[in-house]
């Protein structure tokens, strides 16, 4: 049975086919009009080829670019989030601090890779740099108290070496004890790194879920001094007072552009809230620790704990294994930092036009995270093309496929802007991975009131390029099938596959939990991926799990619990 060509999905014609057809038509027209046969002419062949190349581009636009552009607009209108590149993350600590200063979110740190290439990092969250010193840190576990390296009991003295001593506390669970010598504002805004192994292990989870107690002047645990952790930007743990759960988020223009997901090191950094004056307690060595101190510290160092210090007690979940060997070190004035860089550029419309290709410095390994702002020559803010509340005559911008389309703003007299200032947010994907500890050691600009040195404590990890999508029509079909609601198991599976094309398998299990004395229904979504599809599975999979869980919860029915786990299969 003869087949007939389909009018749907016909293949685009390339320049060679078009040039050959033009030549044949030219030969036929020449024969019919003049009765002569065309001869080989290299100039004519070049013209045919150049013309065919232009026509081929039009075929390609009609076949691919226009339909994909329409589908992109439909996907954006339906709320399907763009899958962006992921920035590499590390932990930086600042030393040599003599006075307090707020570390702004646009502070730039410069890291140098082994190849000599330089990369920019910015803090994931804002902390207060403070002249705070670690005087004592130890883990109580199974009847023994083990010190953690990095503490200096006496100002200007030697650092303590890891040591252990017997301490009988009955059936007390494992616990972390920390003493800090702080300035007048106490621990407010301080960033602290607790380096635990393995990443995402039981000790890290217990530190997040356990209460943190700031001991009062008598060394007692009180409700007023209790803090709990919540996840902040980049996965950092922000501590909040138990009686004040309404802490406001830091104003962050980057958060309006890109929702920075949890990175591999976010679980290791804890940021303290402002400490009210009536809670700025300081005390001497707690009595429960006193019997073990003579065996842990020399007498001259033990005397340093007699001064008033800010004491913290963090009881961990009973049965948490190998706590003392898991906690490696504690670092102060530390915060996670991600490989992101703000690039500002002026776009003169008379010279560059209103359509700009965004590929700074010709680096194809650099990826755009989002457009922070577009400002006209008269200071007016340009609105996104999809914004419905922008005033008449306002400038507009639209980004798609490395191209920024600008529509100049118009004043009441009809005059158009002649240029616009564009601020873009970039990251380098996996190129910024593997910067060794100490490789980030330069501040992009000096701090306002302090002279400090910066260094990264861990290698940078988890940077990745945007995942390649299956055909846009398939993504659009999956999105429409869910109707942006996750109710059934099939909805959850379709939503996961539409969000992340590298998913190998999805299993949805109904779960029931009891909250507030009432049963609450939900689903647990178990996602399997192939490790070979990821550059750094250990670091990237926790971030993918956090992104998927947030994506599904935003689309779940109110009152419906959703949890996600991502595992590597094979």
Tens digits of residue pLDDT in 528-563? 999 888 878 888 888 888 888 888 888 887 777 888
Q: Determine how β-strand 396-400 pairs with β-strand 383-384.
A: parallel
**What pLDDT score does 348 carry?**
87
**Whether residue 191 is found in the same domain as residue 318:** yes
Q: Is the peptide bond before 198 cis (omega within 30 degrees of 0)?
A: yes
Token reading at 333: 């004035």
The verdict on residue 27 lying in a domain is yes
Asked whether residue 5 carries a pLDDT value surpassing 60, the answer given is no
**What pLDDT score does 10 carry?**
43
Query: Average pLDDT of 86-101?
Result: 91
Query: Tokens 């999508």 correspond to what residue?
Result: 469
**Whether residue 208 is found in the same domain as residue 157:** yes
Q: d(Cα 16, Cα 18) in Å, to the nearest integer? A: 5
pLDDT, the chain, mean = 83
Confidence band (pLDDT; 50, 70, 90) for 9? very low
Cβ atoms of residues 225 and 194 within 8 Å: no
Cβ atoms of residues 504 and 530 within 8 Å: yes
Asked whether residue 147 carries a pLDDT value surpassing 80, the answer given is yes
Q: 559: which residues sit within 8 A by CB, 6+ positions away?
A: 520
User: Which of 334, 360, 375 is the last residue in one of the domains?
Assistant: 334
User: Which of 334, 356, 374 is the last residue in one of the domains?
Assistant: 334
Q: d(Cα 262, Cα 273) in Å, to the nearest integer? A: 20
Cβ atoms of residues 500 and 467 within 8 Å: yes
156-180 pLDDT tens trace: 777 888 889 999 988 899 999 999 9
Q: Determine how β-strand 109-112 pairs with β-strand 118-123.
A: antiparallel
**What pLDDT score does 517 carry?**
65
Burial readout 453-478 (b: 16 or more C-beta within 10 A, e: otherwise): ebbbbbbbbbbbbebeeeebeebbeb
**Whether residue 305 is found in the same domain as residue 351:** no
**Whether residue 160 is found in the same domain as residue 66:** no
Q: d(Cα 477, Cα 67) in Å, to the nearest integer? A: 14
**Whether residue 144 is found in the same domain as residue 281:** yes
**Whether residue 195 is found in the same domain as residue 162:** yes
**What pLDDT score does 72 carry?**
62
**Whether residue 148 is found in the same domain as residue 33:** no
With CA atoms as reference, report the closest residue to 524 among 509, 506, 512, 503: 509
**Whether residue 327 is found in the same domain as residue 356:** no
362-419 pLDDT tens trace: 566 788 888 888 898 888 888 887 777 777 778 888 877 667 888 888 888 888 888 8
Q: d(Cα 75, Cα 139) in Å, to the nearest integer? A: 51
Sheet-wide strand order for 212-214: 164-166, 144-147, 133-141, 175-181, 310-315, 212-214, 226-231, 237-241, 269-271, 191-196, 327-332
Q: Determine how β-strand 237-241 pairs with β-strand 355-357.
A: unpaired
**Whether residue 156 is found in the same domain as residue 238:** yes
**Whether residue 219 is found in the same domain as residue 345:** no
Count up the domains in the chain and report the number: 4
**Whether residue 296 is found in the same domain as residue 375:** no
Asked whether residue 186 carries a pLDDT value surpassing 60, the answer given is yes
**Host domain of residue 477:** 472-568
Asked whether residue 351 carries a pLDDT value surpassing 50, the answer given is yes
289-334 pLDDT tens trace: 999 999 998 888 888 898 999 999 999 999 899 999 999 999 999 9
**Whether residue 293 is found in the same domain as residue 163:** yes
Confidence band (pLDDT; 50, 70, 90) for 59? low
Confidence band (pLDDT; 50, 70, 90) for 4? very low
Q: Which of 9-13, 51-55, 350-354, 427-431 has the highest mean pLDDT?
A: 427-431
Q: Which of 82-86, 130-134, 485-489, 501-505 has the highest mean pLDDT?
A: 130-134
Residue 504, strand partner residues: none
Q: 85: which residues sit within 8 A by CB, 6+ positions away?
A: 367, 369, 427, 429, 463, 464, 465, 466
**What pLDDT score does 496 carry?**
87
Asked whether residue 201 carries a pLDDT value surpassing 80, the answer given is yes
């Amino acid at each position: 049975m003869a087949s007939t060509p389909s009018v749907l999905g016909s293949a685009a014609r390339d320049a060679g086919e078009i040039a050959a057809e033009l030549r044949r038509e030219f030969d036929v027209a020449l024969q019919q009009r003049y009765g002569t046969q065309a001869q080989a002419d290299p100039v004519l062949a070049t013209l045919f080829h150049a013309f065919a190349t232009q026509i081929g581009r039009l075929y390609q636009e009609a076949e691919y670019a226009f339909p994909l552009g329409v589908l992109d607009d439909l996907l954006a209108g339906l709320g399907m989030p763009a899958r962006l590149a992921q920035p590499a993350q590390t932990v930086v600590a600042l030393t040599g601090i003599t006075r307090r200063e707020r570390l702004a979110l646009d502070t730039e740190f410069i890291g140098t890779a082994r190849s000599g290439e330089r990369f920019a990092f910015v803090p994931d969250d804002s902390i207060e740099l403070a002249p705070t010193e670690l005087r004592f840190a130890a883990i109580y576990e199974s009847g023994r108290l083990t010190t953690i390296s990095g503490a200096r009991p006496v100002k200007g003295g030697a650092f303590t070496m890891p040591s252990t001593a017997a301490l009988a506390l009955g059936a007390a669970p494992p616990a972390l004890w920390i003493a800090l010598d702080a300035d007048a504002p106490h621990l407010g805004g301080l960033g602290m790194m607790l380096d635990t192994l393995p990443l995402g292990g039981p000790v890290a989870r217990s530190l997040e879920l356990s209460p943190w107690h700031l001991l009062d002047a008598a060394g007692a645990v009180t409700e007023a001094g209790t803090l709990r952790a919540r996840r902040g930007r980049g996965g950092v743990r922000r501590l909040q007072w138990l009686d004040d759960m309404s802490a406001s988020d830091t104003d962050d223009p980057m958060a309006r552009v890109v929702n920075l997901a949890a990175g591999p090191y976010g679980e290791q950094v804890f940021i303290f809230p402002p400490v009210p004056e009536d809670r700025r307690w300081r005390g001497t060595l707690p009595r429960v620790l006193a019997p073990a101190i003579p065996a842990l510290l020399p007498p001259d160092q033990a005397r340093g704990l007699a001064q008033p210090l800010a004491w913290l007690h963090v009881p961990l979940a009973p049965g948490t294994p190998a706590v003392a060997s898991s906690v490696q070190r504690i670092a102060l004035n530390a915060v996670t930092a991600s490989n992101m860089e703000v690039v500002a550029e002026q776009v003169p419309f008379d010279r560059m036009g209103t359509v700009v290709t965004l590929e700074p410095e010709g680096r194809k390994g650099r990826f755009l995270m989002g457009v922070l702002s577009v400002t006209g020559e008269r200071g007016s803010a340009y609105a996104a093309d999809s914004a419905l509340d922008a005033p008449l005559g306002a400038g507009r911008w639209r980004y798609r496929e490395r191209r920024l389309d600008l529509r100049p703003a118009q004043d009441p007299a009809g005059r158009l802007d002649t240029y616009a200032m564009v601020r873009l947010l970039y990251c380098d994907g996996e190129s910024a991975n593997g910067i060794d500890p100490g490789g980030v050691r330069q501040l992009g600009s000096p701090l306002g009131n302090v002279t400090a040195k910066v260094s990264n404590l861990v290698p940078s990890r988890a940077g990745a390029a945007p995942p390649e999508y299956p055909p846009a029509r398939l993504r659009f079909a999956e999105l429409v099938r869910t109707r942006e609601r996750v109710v059934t198991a099939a909805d959850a599976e379709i939503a996961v596959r539409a969000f992340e094309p590298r998913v190998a398998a999805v299993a949805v299990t109904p779960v029931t939990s009891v909250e507030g004395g009432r049963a609450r229904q939900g689903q647990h979504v178990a996602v399997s991926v192939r490790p070979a599809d990821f550059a750094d599975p250990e670091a990237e999979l926790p971030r993918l799990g956090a992104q998927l869980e947030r994506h599904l919860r935003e689309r779940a029915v109110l009152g419906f619990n959703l949890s996600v786990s991502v595992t590597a299969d094979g």
